Amino acid sequence: MKPALPKGTRDFGPLETARRRYIFETIRNQFELFGYQALETPAMENLTTLTGKYGDEGDRLIFKILNSGDFLQEVREKNASLDAPSAILPMISEKALRYDLTVPFARFVVMNREKLAFPFKRYQMQPVWRADRPQKGRYREFWQCDADVVGSASLLNEAELIQIYDRVFHQLGLPVNILVNNRKILSGMAEVAGVPERLTELTVALDKLDKIGWEKVVEEMQQKGIPENALKTIEPITRLSGSNTGKLQQLEQLLQGSTIGLAGIRELRELLSFFGPEGKLELLNAKIDLDLSLARGLNYYTGTILEVKARNIAFGSIGGGGRYDDLTGIFGLQGVPGVGISFGADRIYDILLDQNLFPASQTTGTRILIASLEISERNDGLVLLQQLRNAGIAAEIFPEPTKLRKQFEYAEKKGIPYLALYGPDEVKSGVVNLKKLSSGKQVNVPLEAIHEIESYFEEES
């Protein structure tokens, strides 16, 4: 049998894991700085918890888990027809792998509503699974890093989430633009265009504007039966240019006839004002860019919509989020507004690698390898080894004494910066011979001073 991975899944080797951890920890630090608390939920949920939450398309992509034991028993008992897979499914599967982190979060909030302090701010960084066909930047198992706050309608939450984006990407060294829009403005557009009931089709098509251009968007809208004069109303809105405040001013004129549209404009103005001249919040690097074609597919968004893109690099979105007024309503808890964001960790990884933005120097992993040529020498080295570890310095000893060449190559390949020799001569004089591999520089360090080992090389760097 040839070993292989399931389609759309990946192994992460030591280097990849270290780099992924760097991304995750950067995100986690900011989440926690802003008062978000960690939550973890099971890999599997009841199938009924998940179905119907992601649309027909989404339901198809949920990984179902086959019941244990005689999973066909119920099918036989009810003599069910195999021609109706959707009717058979609940008989053979009652659990499924989580599809995202938002629905499990909503379930958690509803189940624990009495215990939680609202506004409840949680973050969650866990893998999710989708039975999608894999392609570039798309996997069947991938990690989401979500932060959501529920129980508060204040736009300050949005502003803080924008700050989190800004600070994370600033730390990662990746300049980004944060695209903002508001679902109410899209509703307003549909309203003044005379097609309020076609909001979904309108937004799905409009969202592709920067990717496929206006003509293709028109084509798609026409295909979906959106009338020509509606398109004529919408086009000038998408063509608005200038500063964010300038765009909003022009938009205000165009959306005069729509109460909901004007509400959206008010919300955006309030959000932007946090970062404006009168505002109190700062951005380190990110630019906020009002993008009136930004829609995002998720239908549960009701207010602010956010999306993050790397500046000057064509690479799709690396994060997104938005406000939803009634996420927990599907589980019977009404009137809990919320807003959340998500980091696309796998895409951030790809882009940092592409832009060469991962820190070069390795700060984790073994610092010192103790080499030895003979068993007696190796055993002497065990004393040194334990002293190093007791001092909190990651150290290892080559288990079988062998040629130094081999031990050097091991250290080199593993990225261990120092190699220690502790042979008969060193034992006699109570020192450790220490070599820095990158420079070739070598010094004798008194055994008692072993915990300060790195300071002997500090002046170089």
Partner RNA sequence: GUGGUUAUAGCUCAGUUGGUUAGAGCGCUAGUUUGUGGCACUAGAGGCCGUGGGUUCGAGCCCCAUUAGCCACCCCA
Q: Find the binder of RNA among 64, 98, 121, 296 (CB under 7 A).
A: 296
From the list 167-175, 245-253, 295-303, 381-389, the region that binds RNA by CB under 7 A is 295-303
Residue among 279 and 424 whose Cβ is closer to RNA: 424
Q: Does 442 bind RNA (CB under 7 A)?
A: yes
Q: Does 185 bind RNA (CB under 7 A)?
A: no
Q: Rounded CA gap, 35 and 311, in Å? A: 28
Supply the minimum distance, in Å, between the C-beta of residue 230 and RNA.
Answer: 19
Q: Does 301 bind RNA (CB under 7 A)?
A: no
Cα–Cα nearest to 154, from 333, 287, 273, 323: 323
Half-sphere exposure of 461 (CA within 13 A, CB side): 5
Q: Find the binder of RNA among 138, 170, 266, 269 (CB under 7 A).
A: 138
Q: Find the binder of RNA among 228, 332, 440, 459 (CB under 7 A).
A: 440
Task: Draw the binding track, 2-31, toward RNA (x: CB under 7 A; -: no contact).
Answer: --x-xxx-----------------------
Task: Draw the binding track, 359-398, toward RNA (x: CB under 7 A; -: no contact).
Answer: --------------x-------------------------
Supply the minimum distance, in Å, between the C-beta of residue 326 and RNA.
Answer: 18
Supply the minimum distance, in Å, between the C-beta of residue 11 and RNA.
Answer: 12
From the list 11-19, 34-42, 140-148, 254-262, the region that binds RNA by CB under 7 A is 140-148
Residue among 72 and 445 whose Cβ is closer to RNA: 445
From the list 329-337, 392-400, 429-437, 451-459, the region that binds RNA by CB under 7 A is 429-437
Contact 36, 119 (CB under 8 A): no
Stretch 143-172 residues interacting with RNA (CB under 7 A): 144
Residue among 39 and 419 whose Cβ is closer to RNA: 419
Decide: helix, strand or coil at residue 91. helix
- The β-bridge partners of 320 are 307, 342
Tokens of 350: 């790809």
Q: Does 415 bind RNA (CB under 7 A)?
A: no
Which amino acid belongs to residue 330? I
Q: Which residue has the tokens 């968007």?
A: 217
- How far does Cα 303 stand from its chain's mean position? 22
Contact 347, 182 (CB under 8 A): no
Ranges assigned E (strand) in 57-165: 64-66, 93-97, 120-129, 141-150
From the list 180-188, 338-346, 362-370, 448-456, the region that binds RNA by CB under 7 A is 338-346
Residue among 201 and 252 whose Cβ is closer to RNA: 201
Supply the minimum distance, in Å, between the C-beta of residue 211 and RNA.
Answer: 7
Q: Does 358 bind RNA (CB under 7 A)?
A: no
Residue among 130 and 167 whose Cβ is closer to RNA: 130
Q: Does 224 bind RNA (CB under 7 A)?
A: no
State the DSSP H helix or E strand holding residue 29, giving kind and residue range, or none if neither.
helix 14-33
Q: How many residues bind RNA (CB under 7 A)?
A: 55
Measured from the Cβ of residue 212, the count of other Cβ atoms closer than 10 Å reads: 12
Cα–Cα nearest to 152, from 161, 139, 164: 161
Supply the minimum distance, in Å, between the C-beta of residue 104 and RNA.
Answer: 14
Stretch 103-132 residues interacting with RNA (CB under 7 A): 130, 132
Measured from the Cβ of residue 402, the count of other Cβ atoms closer than 10 Å reads: 15
Q: Rounded CA gap, 201 and 231, in Å? A: 12
Q: Does 134 bind RNA (CB under 7 A)?
A: yes
Look at the alpha carbons of 224, 227, 230, 231 in this order and tell me if their dihedral is positive or negative.
positive
Q: Which residue has the tokens 């060294």?
A: 173
CA-atom Rg of the chain in angstroms: 29
Residue among 109 and 318 whose Cβ is closer to RNA: 318
Q: Does 137 bind RNA (CB under 7 A)?
A: yes
Look at the alpha carbons of 229, 234, 239, 243 in this order and tell me if their dihedral is positive or negative.
positive
Q: Rounded CA gap, 401 and 407, in Å? A: 9
Q: Rounded CA gap, 123 and 36, in Å? A: 6
According to DSSP H, which parts of 195-278 are helical?
199-206, 209-212, 214-223, 228-238, 244-254, 259-273
Q: Give residues in contact with RNA (CB under 7 A).
A: 4, 6-8, 55, 57-58, 100, 130, 132-140, 142, 144, 204, 208, 296-298, 316-320, 342, 344, 346-347, 373, 403-406, 408-409, 411-413, 421, 423-426, 433, 435, 437-438, 440, 442
